[in-house]
């Protein structure tokens, strides 16, 4: 149980970091692209799916 | 080992394989028209689209050794092997996309050692160039051996005839078309690979009777209580969760996806840093599916063929049989697509490594150390000849690898773990902290690589000294290199800020446009 929580926690921390990265660090200082072209949104979705994978299959 | 009956190829299957070869050759040769300079050969003229690079990243990682090896490991260890793509790939790829890629791309470098040379000094660049350059040539030989062995077992092809065909085909489009041909042929290969691997899973699951039946049949076998768990207990003999998380997730995975020239080179060839980032995100998305496609066949093989392949804990257990047995279940036509997928895995793996080895030797050894006055045309010619030399050398080396090495894959993983920890420590510290300098970098390499050698030799000290997993070796050499680099950097003079601008996270150079 501790193991699967540890893996899920790593991806949860990754999501927090992805949310707080300043826009100018990822080339979005002028305008935010629509969600379907926003790499930050896709990265968060992939990390969230990994949390689900580890909690379900861990 | 049970002698395997090779697969009989129907003309329909053979036609599909030939069609794949023709498509790859035509795409590769068509793209060779625009190669006029070294930058075209090594970075595709920095004009590569993100979607092609993203798929190329995936198939540069997946080769014959992974397809056969992961099916075997899925049979022996179960779903825990998926961690090599989940925590070992998706996690570092997402970090790399937002933290490392922009700096490598903006630095306008061709290679990772070139970046390290700018950030630290020439000694660090040369040391890592020699280590990576040598290991990549050895990797070409191991790819040849794993591919030719697979074709020999599966199709009954002569070992050296397989190598000859691969050498000529990959040699022609990689030499002429460079990275652009590699990336676009990889795009075709990725699609074929996904379809082929999915067909093996679907046909195998139908044969077993579905997912629930697969779980039931595997659970009936001894020693399979953790086969459907991704995370194993902390006291597990192999792949315990702390070793997977620390060794694979925090060191080996990031070192491979951030510091491997064959991986990083294609993202340096994208049109912008946004495209480089998008290519990594696409790679991570595709990698959510691949571990299932590559490991589940091993579980299907365990349910269907445990009588033929034998107990997984048998010390004489020999790999390489699970996938060929599964392939024999495939119907006519489907077999041709799967064989095309095998070819795709082999060729995309091989073309990536010969192109990257050539890039590394030309840019980090030949030009800075041997011929600083070399012009762009000379670099192009030398780069092309080196691709030919590495393919020929890999083909010749395959004889020795086949006859003198027991487990090629494990030997190479062990070799990689000798320097992956130190490489990652230097990349992380170099990109994140401006206080780190060249003296610290050199000290970090010496201590990190030295400790890795010591830990690998630990078991030879006496009967009471147990073998240490290569994942733990990678972790502790990383820690040692990290601490040493910090201490020596703090004890010596720092670099001035202007020297570090655009190379360190806290000193961005947003106006710079790579040439």
Task: Convert A6-58 into a string of H (helix), E (strand) and C (coil).
Answer: HHHHHHHHHHHHHHHCCHHHHCCCCCCCCHHHCHHHHHHHHHHHHHHHHHHHC
Contacts of A6 in chain B (CB under 8 A): 241, 245
pLDDT score, position B299: 93
Number of other residues whose CB lies within 10 A of the CB of residue B34: 15
d(CA B375, nearest CA chain A) in Å = 34
Tell me the two tokens of residue B263. Answer: 């991986």
Mean pLDDT per 10-residue section of chain B, whose length is 515 residues: 60 83 81 76 82 90 77 88 92 91 80 90 90 81 81 81 86 80 84 87 92 92 88 86 89 86 85 89 94 91 85 67 81 80 78 86 89 87 89 85 62 72 92 92 93 80 70 89 96 90 77 54
Written as six digits, the tokens of B432 are 């994140």
- What pLDDT does residue B273 have? 84
**Facing residue for A7 by CB, picked from B87, B273, B288:** B87
Using CB atoms, which residue from B90, B232, B274 is nearest to A27? B274
Most B CBs within 10 Å, among A13, A46, A48, to test the B interface: A46
Please give the Cα distance from B33 to B24 (Å, whole number): 15
Specify the pLDDT at position B2. Answer: 45
Nearest CA in chain A to B228: A57
Residues of B in contact with A58 (CB under 8 A): 229-231
The structure's pTM equals 0.85
Nearest to A18 among B98, B272, B288 (CB): B98
> What ipTM describes this predicted complex?
0.95
Per-residue confidence (pLDDT) for residue B322, from 0 to 100: 82
The beta strand positions in B1-44, using DSSP E, are none
Encode pLDDT of A27-46 as tens digits. Answer: 766 777 888 888 999 999 99
What is the DSSP code string of B336-347?
HHHHHHHHHHHH
Q: Using CA atoms, how far apart are residues A2 and A11, in angstroms rounded to an integer?
A: 15
**CB distance from A30 to chain B under 8 Å?**
no
Does A57 contact B288 at a Cβ distance shorter than 8 Å? no
Chain centroid, CA B126 distance in Å: 22
């Amino acid at each position: 149980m501790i193991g699967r929580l540890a893996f899920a926690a790593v991806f949860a921390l990754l999501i927090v970091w992805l949310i707080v990265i300043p826009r100018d660090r990822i080339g979005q200082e002028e305008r935010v692209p629509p969600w379907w072209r926003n790499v930050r949104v896709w990265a968060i979705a992939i990390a969230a799916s990994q949390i689900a994978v580890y909690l379900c299959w861990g | 080992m049970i002698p395997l009956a090779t697969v009989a190829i129907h003309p329909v299957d053979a036609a599909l394989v030939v069609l794949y070869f023709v498509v790859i050759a035509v795409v590769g040769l068509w793209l060779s028209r625009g190669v006029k300079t070294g930058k075209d050969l090594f970075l595709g003229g920095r004009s590569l689209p993100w979607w092609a690079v993203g798929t190329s990243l995936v198939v540069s990682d997946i080769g014959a050794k992974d397809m056969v090896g992961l099916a075997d490991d899925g049979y022996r260890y179960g779903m825990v092997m998926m961690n090599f793509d989940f925590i070992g790939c998706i996690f570092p790829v997402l970090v790399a996309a937002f933290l490392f890629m922009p700096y490598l791309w903006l630095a306008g470098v061709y290679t990772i050692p070139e970046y390290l040379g700018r950030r630290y000094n020439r000694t660090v660049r040369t040391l890592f160039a020699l280590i990576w350059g040598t290991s990549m040539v050895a990797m070409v030989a191991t790819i040849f051996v794993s591919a030719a062995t697979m074709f020999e077992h599966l199709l009954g092809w002569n070992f050296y005839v397989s190598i000859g065909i691969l050498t000529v085909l990959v040699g022609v489009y990689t030499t002429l078309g460079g990275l652009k041909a590699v990336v676009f042929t990889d795009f075709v290969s990725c699609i074929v690979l996904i379809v082929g691997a999915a067909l093996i899973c679907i046909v195998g699951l139908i044969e077993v009777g579905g997912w629930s039946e697969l779980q039931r049949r595997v659970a009936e076998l001894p020693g399979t209580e953790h086969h459907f768990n991704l995370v194993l207990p902390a006291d597990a003999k192999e792949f315990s969760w702390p070793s997977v998380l620390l060794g694979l997730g925090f060191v080996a995975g990031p070192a491979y996806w951030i510091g491997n020239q064959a991986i990083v080179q294609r993202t340096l060839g994208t049109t912008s840093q946004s495209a480089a980032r998008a290519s990594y995100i696409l790679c991570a998305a595709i990698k959510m599916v691949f571990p299932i496609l590559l490991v589940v066949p091993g579980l299907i093989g365990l349910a269907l063929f445990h009588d033929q392949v034998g107990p997984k804990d048998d010390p004489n257990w020999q790999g390489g049989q699970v996938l060929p047995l599964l392939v024999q279940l495939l119907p006519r036509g489907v077999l041709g697509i799967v064989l095309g997928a095998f070819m795709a895995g082999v060729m995309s793996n091989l073309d990536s490594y010969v192109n990257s080895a050539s890039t590394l030797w030309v840019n980090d050894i030949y030009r800075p150390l041997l011929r600083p006055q070399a012009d762009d045309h000379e670099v192009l010619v030398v780069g092309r000849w080196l691709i030919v030399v590495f393919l020929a050398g890999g083909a010749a080396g395959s004889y020795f690898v086949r006859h003198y090495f027991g487990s090629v894959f494990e030997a190479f993983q062990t070799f990689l773990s000798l320097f992956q920890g130190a490489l990652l420590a230097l990349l992380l510290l170099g990109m994140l902290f401006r206080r780190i300098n060249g003296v610290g970098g050199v000290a970090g390499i010496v201590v990190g690589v030295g400790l890795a050698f010591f830990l690998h030799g630990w078991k030879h000290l006496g009967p009471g000294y147990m073998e240490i997993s290569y994942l733990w070796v990678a972790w502790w050499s990383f820690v040692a290199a990290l601490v040493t680099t910090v201490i020596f950097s703090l004890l010596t003079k720092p670099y001035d800020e202007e020297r570090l601008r655009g190379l360190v996270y806290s000193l961005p150079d947003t106006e710079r446009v790579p040439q």
